[in-house]
Chain A
Amino acid sequence: MKYIDEYRNRDIVDKLVKQIKQVSKNPVSFMEVCGGHTMSIQKFGIPSLLPDNIRLISGPGCPVCVSDRKYIDQAIAYSRLKDVIITTYGDLIRVPGSTSTLDQEKAAGADIRIVYSVLDALQIAKDNPTKKVVFLGIGFETTAPSSAAGVIRAQMAGIRNFYLFSSHKVMPPAMEALIDEGVKLSGYIAPGHVSTITGTGIYQNIPNKYGLGVVVSGFEPVDLLQSILMLVTQMENDDPKVEIQYTRVVKPEGNVKAQQFLDEVFYLGDDWWRGLGVLPKSGMKIKEEYAVFDAEKQIPVEVEPTREDKGCICGEILKGIKNPKDCKLFAKACTPQNPVGACMVSHEGSCHAYYRYNRD
């Protein structure tokens, strides 16, 4: 665990906090757009260490939270088909659809299996040749390459009963849309694992077009504080740019092989984001060449009409305009036990993170 301890070292943390306090003069708001960052910030209690003029806002960084409720409804509809096995990462199974959850469907007899990798889903497809195995592909540029690799591998191995139901999204359009919508920001703490795949070029528009800084950050407290220091320094010097704090993992060019997988299987199409609406070229759709693996094209299913909850302000929370504590449902009608909005269900959702670590 040596590789982690040094990034949680209290002396280094104290030094960084001191430096931030020295450099920072003006009020600033930085947004993190990765659920992993949101959790880390709350789990380690980072806001309590920062001076009052620095505000951290949680943005649309949790893939479960930004996805359309219709996606869950459709997954539930698939799960009700007799010849379908649903394979999914764990977080999705408690997300409320319009009238049910995958969890409830599982209890009622649907074959829904939690997997840790798309390879497990492929194996399940191999072991159950008479079933259609649907993998729920959700997440940003980080998880999308493995979904793409799954499709390519299924093609190579001649597995014809594996289907990807893609809700994969790319991050930069949402980051730009937030600024366009008038959310007051001073800079972005950008997700380290997205850039591990994509490199840093994808954020160049943000300093160029909007004059805001972007620092690609790691996930440990020292990483986050160092990123905040870098952003504060950029702002104080009026020198917005894209910088990498997470240099031990992120290269400017990213992971070229993973990018090839993405390009091979997906094209960018319009996609709906909770709180932001339809954003052009923000969703990863399966290309025509791989249509035989596209659940949406291959498995016709009737999906119930989508019902959104009244009173839930997930949309505004995801945009960073409101704080989870501003929601009148927060910690009352909406709790992790009985979540109303997706932001409370996912462990990386803002509301969940606030509920767990910062409720008072």
Chain B
Amino acid sequence: MIKNILLGHGSGGKLSHDLITNLFVKYFHNEILDLQTDASVLQPDSDLISFTTDSFVVDPIFFPGGNIGKLAIAGTVNDLAVSGAKPLYLSASFIIEEGLPFKDLEIIVKTMAEEANKAGVRIVTGDTKVVDRGKCDKVFINTTGIGALEAKRKNIGMGTEIQPGDKLIINGTLADHGMCIMSVREGLGFQAEIESDCASLNHMISQVLEVSDRVKFMRDATRGGMATVLCELAESRNLGFEIDESKLPVKENVRGICELLGFDPLYVANEGKVLMIVGKEDADIVLSTLKKNELGKQAAIIGEVTDDHHGKAWMTTGIGGRRIIDMLAGEQLPRIC
């Protein structure tokens, strides 16, 4: 039984071989991975493929509601799903710090297998490197994903068909992941436990795409939060957005910690939230379809596309005032007075 990961586990020799067989193949196995070839042969049955990659370096690696492994699967699955694709295959590469407890790695790998299974994707290739203690922080994971994309959905990722009058819909509460990480990170000592919203959204999204052909744009609001998605899109497509702050769902405990630390939930990271822009005729059916899914119970229409103030997102605040929503510079930092 291995206790800690050693430099030798990344050497390509016997230790590496054992680690691959007894850990990665054990949990991830499927008929493609089991062949253990240098490159996997895939045959996606689709017009187009979507292709994406993401690296995960979250600290701490375990947090309420998930761990770095769950994040690594869900993150890449979501990037494919919000582009309108059906996620199919993932790679998983690990950079591990010497000394990482094997049982921690096993929990992470097991979680990844479970999340991949839940999302209906197969991990078909991977890699492991081990670096000296202190040269990386516990474990970093990269996942790359391939999804099948129907030609009619190829514009969803770009939002080229968005028009004034379209509705903005999100599938639930904002800022859960970011505030979860903040609250467990060393040094803050909060008692209240906030769960990350980390989840694979592909099934929920495909349910929506089954009932509506008027989903014109989707984006998962991760780093930078919902505000950043809105600002980037407004600017790049020269669109005007009108948001109603009173419609933004935020959990009470999340809002409390945001207030305390001076964060605006609109700018805080999510890991299980998608912004959809939908033709107004279909807004209700999309909303009700989202609400039927466990991950969309608190879905809400938060605003619409307007023909005004092109390039900018404006918000009616909870008290009826008006203000612009802007992109944030740097990280959010707490107030000093």
| Chain A residues close to B by CB (< 8 Å) | 1, 4, 8-10, 13-14, 34-36, 42-49, 62-64, 89-94, 114, 116, 120, 138-140, 142-143, 193, 221, 335-337, 346-348, 355-360
> Which residue from chain B places its CB closest to the CB of A142 in the assembled complex?
B337
Given the contacts A36-B337, A347-B262, A348-B335, A360 and B321 also touching, CB distance less than 8 Å: no
| Closest CB pairs A-B (n = 5) | A45-B321, A336-B329, A90-B333, A357-B323, A89-B336
Chain B interface residue number, banded: 20 to 34
Given the contacts A116-B188, A360-B312, A48 and B337 also touching, CB distance less than 8 Å: no
Q: Compute how far the CA of A10 lies from the CA of B309 in the bound complex, rounded to whole angstroms.
A: 25
Which residues from B are CB-within-8-Å of A142?
A: 337
Which residues from B are CB-within-8-Å of A336?
A: 328-330
Residue among B246, B262, B334, B336 making CB contact with A64, cutoff 8 Å? B336
**Contact call A45/B322, Cβ cutoff below 8 A:** yes
What is the minimal beta-carbon distance from A314 to any residue of chain B, in angstroms?
17
**Contact call B322/A63, Cβ cutoff below 8 A:** no
> Which residue from chain B places its CB closest to the CB of A222 in the assembled complex?
B319
Stretch at the interface among B30-38, B133-141, B197-205, B251-259: B251-259
> Which residue from chain B places its CB closest to the CB of A117 in the assembled complex?
B187
Q: Compute how far the CA of A242 lies from the CA of B320 in the bound complex, rounded to whole angstroms.
A: 29
Q: Compute how far the CA of A90 lies from the CA of B332 in the bound complex, rounded to whole angstroms.
A: 9
> Which residue from chain B places its CB closest to the CB of A359 in the assembled complex?
B324
Q: Compute how far the CA of A47 lies from the CA of B324 in the bound complex, rounded to whole angstroms.
A: 13
Q: Compute how far the CA of A291 lies from the CA of B252 in the bound complex, rounded to whole angstroms.
A: 46
What is the minimal beta-carbon distance from B335 to any residue of chain A, in angstroms?
7
Interface of B is mostly: loop
> Which residue from chain B places its CB closest to the CB of A344 in the assembled complex?
B329
Q: Compute how far the CA of A59 lies from the CA of B82 in the bound complex, rounded to whole angstroms.
A: 45
B317 at the interface (CB under 8 A from A): yes
B326 at the interface (CB under 8 A from A): yes
> Which residue from chain B places its CB closest to the CB of A47 in the assembled complex?
B321
Most chain B beta-carbon neighbours within 10 Å: one of A1, A143, A337: A1
Which residues from A are CB-within-8-Å of B320?
A: 10, 13-14, 45, 49
Which residues from B are CB-within-8-Å of A91?
A: 333-336
> Which residue from chain B places its CB closest to the CB of A7 in the assembled complex?
B319
Q: Compute how far the CA of A288 lies from the CA of B187 in the bound complex, rounded to whole angstroms.
A: 33
Q: Compute how far the CA of A63 lies from the CA of B337 in the bound complex, rounded to whole angstroms.
A: 8
B318 at the interface (CB under 8 A from A): yes
**Contact call A45/B317, Cβ cutoff below 8 A:** yes
Given the contacts A1-B252, A347-B335, A48 and B321 also touching, CB distance less than 8 Å: yes
**Contact call B317/A43, Cβ cutoff below 8 A:** yes
Which residues from A are CB-within-8-Å of B316?
A: 45
What is the minimal beta-carbon distance from B265 to any residue of chain A, in angstroms?
12
What is the minimal beta-carbon distance from B315 to any residue of chain A, in angstroms?
8
Q: Compute how far the CA of A92 lies from the CA of B336 in the bound complex, rounded to whole angstroms.
A: 9
> Which residue from chain B places its CB closest to the CB of A49 in the assembled complex?
B321
**Contact call B329/A337, Cβ cutoff below 8 A:** yes
**Contact call A90/B334, Cβ cutoff below 8 A:** yes
